[in-house]
Amino acid sequence: MTKKDYEAFATIIKDNLRSYGYHQDEYEDGRTQGYNDALEDIAHNMCTIFAADNERFDKKIFLKACGI
């Protein structure tokens, strides 16, 4: 994978977090927090895969680009 690929994945996560109100109060049914937690878990899991693919992959930079 290339830097461009990593950036595209980060943008997808960041845009989804924004559209569902990341870090805002959750709805009464807990939807927002559950959705945020799921996207954070996905981003962290992607970091594991990306790091295995590329030794120069930087988890901190990726998570920041995701908005996490």
**Is the predicted pLDDT of residue 47 greater than 80, yes or no?**
yes
Measure the CA angle with vertex 44, ends 43 and 46; round to 5°: 65
Amino acid at 26: E
Q: Give the phi and the psi of residue 65 in degrees, each rounded to 5.
A: -65, -30
CA pair distance 34, 51, nearest whole angstrom = 26
Using a pLDDT cut of 90, give the percent of the chain over it. Answer: 51
CA pair distance 63, 56, nearest whole angstrom = 15
Number of residues that make up the chain: 68
CA pair distance 53, 68, nearest whole angstrom = 22
* pLDDT tens sequence across 2-24: 899 999 999 998 888 877 666 55
Domain chopping of the chain, boundaries: 3-66
